[in-house]
Amino acid sequence: MFKSRSHHTQNTEQTIDKHALLFGLISVFLCGIGFSIIAPVVPFLVQPYTSSPGEQAIVVTLLTSVYAFCVFFASPVLGALSDKYGRRPLLLVCLLGSAIGYLVFGIGGALWILFAG
C-alpha cells in the first residue's frame, strides 16, 4: 500500500498507492454491507426452525458466535496466505467466499445449513 521514494539524501518519503487504498476500501465496504444486510434478517431466517422466542434468541446468538469464532481462527491463516500469495488475490477469493456464504445463508432450508453458511 505504501511506496517508498528515496532521494539522493538520507530522507525517505512514503506515499500511498491510491489504487491499493481504493481496492482495500471497496473490499471493506462490501464486507460491511453484506454483514449489515444479513444481521437484521437473521431472526426471521431462524424463526421457522425454532419453537419459542427464547430458543430463537439462543440460535441467533449461537450463529453470531460461530461467525465470530470462525473469523477469529481464520484471520491468522488468511494473513499467512496473503503474505504468500498477495493481498489482492486473497481479498478477491474472500469476497467471493463471503458472497457464496451469504447466498447459502439466504437460501437456507435447515438450521444446520444456516450454521454452515
- Predicted local distance difference test score (pLDDT) of residue 1: 54
Residue 17 within any structural domain of the chain? no
**Amino acid in the structure at residue 35:** F
Domain count within the chain = 1
Residue 110 C-alpha cell reads as: 435447515
pTM for the model stands at 0.67
Residue by residue, pLDDT tens for the chain (117 residues) are 555 554 555 555 677 778 878 877 887 887 788 778 877 888 888 888 888 888 888 988 998 888 889 888 888 888 888 888 888 888 888 888 888 888 887 787 788 888 877
Residue 15 within any structural domain of the chain? no
> Helix (H, G, I), strand (E, B), or coil: what is residue 18?
helix
**Amino acid in the structure at residue 29:** F
Residue 13 within any structural domain of the chain? no
Q: Compute the distance between CA of residue 91 and CA of residue 24 in angstroms, rounded to an integer.
A: 8
The residue range of the domain holding 58 is 34-116
* DSSP string across 20-63: HHHHHHHHHHHHHHHHHHHGGGHHHHHGGG-SSHHHHHHHHHHH
Residue 24 within any structural domain of the chain? no
pLDDT digits (tens, 9 = 90+) for 45-75: 888 888 888 888 898 899 888 888 988 888 8
